[in-house]
Amino acid sequence: MSAIEMRNIVKEYGDGFKAVNDVSLDIADGEFMILVGPSGCGKSTLLRMIVGLEDITSGDMLIGGDRVNEKAPRDRNLSMVFQNYALYPHLTVFENIAFPLRLMKGISEDEIKRRVSEAAGMLELNEHLDRKPANLSGGQRQRVAMGRAIVRQVNAFLFDEPLSNLDAKLRGQMRTEISRMQRRLGTTTVYVTHDQTEAMTLGDRVAVLRRGYLQQVASPRELYEQP
């Protein structure tokens, strides 16, 4: 069974413009799927329909075999990491990472501490748990956003250009960390990027969108290595 299955997904905005047009795509359990394509081709819209932040005009979205078209975001059990981190400025690193756990019922404080510490350890944040986001570097903030995404078990991680605000050196480091983390957790991942190096090093497969259509799905090697 696919982790995420899209069947003939269409997103039509009010003016009749189809931002996503008849996209069918199966993402396997544990697969790292990259979404690429020129600006405006529908990548974010597609990601937002998977998460449930955008209604689907027609077609079916299945997560773990369940049709989720009408399911609220919180009932889809997914984690999304945004380009701009979306951290809560008034909360400490610990509380930012713990946030998704606080929304779950029946988790003890000890369990929350254990899980936050585990996620923070993976991301080298254990020294910074009492700090506020304003006192962190860009790379550390992005790590906190990742920590929040991995702190509970989810059906999939969704990344919307998570490294585009970082400098080249940090991007390289974070790329390695994301890869390691995803392999270790084995969580299905959909990752939007403009960066060919990210697509090549992270992706099991790359889906190419163009003007709302799915133009090609291939391995990074097939796509980027010229004959």
Write out the two tokens for 72: 């609220």
CB-wise, 13 or 184, nearer to ligand ADP? 13
Q: Does 86 bind ligand ADP (CB under 6 A)?
A: yes
Q: Does 142 bind ligand ADP (CB under 6 A)?
A: no
Q: Does 45 bind ligand ADP (CB under 6 A)?
A: yes
What does the DSSP 8-state code read for residue 64?
T
CB-wise, 13 or 114, nearer to ligand ADP? 13
Cβ atoms within 10 A of the Cβ of 169, count? 9
CB of 99 to ligand ADP, least distance (A): 7
CB of 134 to ligand ADP, least distance (A): 13
Q: Does 194 bind ligand ADP (CB under 6 A)?
A: no
Q: Do residues 157 and 125 lie in contact, with contact meaning Cβ atoms separated by under 8 Å?
A: no
Q: Could you tell me which residues come within 8 angstroms of residue 73 by beta carbon, excluding any fewer than 6 positions away? A: 51, 52, 53
Please state whether beta strands 78-81 and 156-160 pair in parallel, antiparallel, or not at all (unpaired): parallel
CA 156, 160, 162, 163 torsion: positive or negative?
Answer: positive
How many residues touch ligand ADP (CB under 6 A)?
Answer: 14
Q: Please, how many CA atoms are within 13 Å of residue 61, restricted to the half-sphere of its CB?
A: 23
C-alpha closest to that of 27 among 46, 44, 12:
46
CB of 19 to ligand ADP, least distance (A): 3
Q: Does 121 bind ligand ADP (CB under 6 A)?
A: no
Report the distance separating Cα 52 and Cα 112, nearest Å. Answer: 26
CB-wise, 11 or 205, nearer to ligand ADP? 11
When binding is defined by CB under 6 A, the residue of 4, 21, 25, 44 that contacts ligand ADP is 44
Which residue has tokens 């956003």? 145
Q: Does 41 bind ligand ADP (CB under 6 A)?
A: yes
Which region among 34-42, 116-124, 151-159, 193-201 touches ligand ADP (by CB under 6 A)?
34-42
Positions touching ligand ADP (CB under 6 A) are 13, 17, 19, 37, 39-45, 86-88
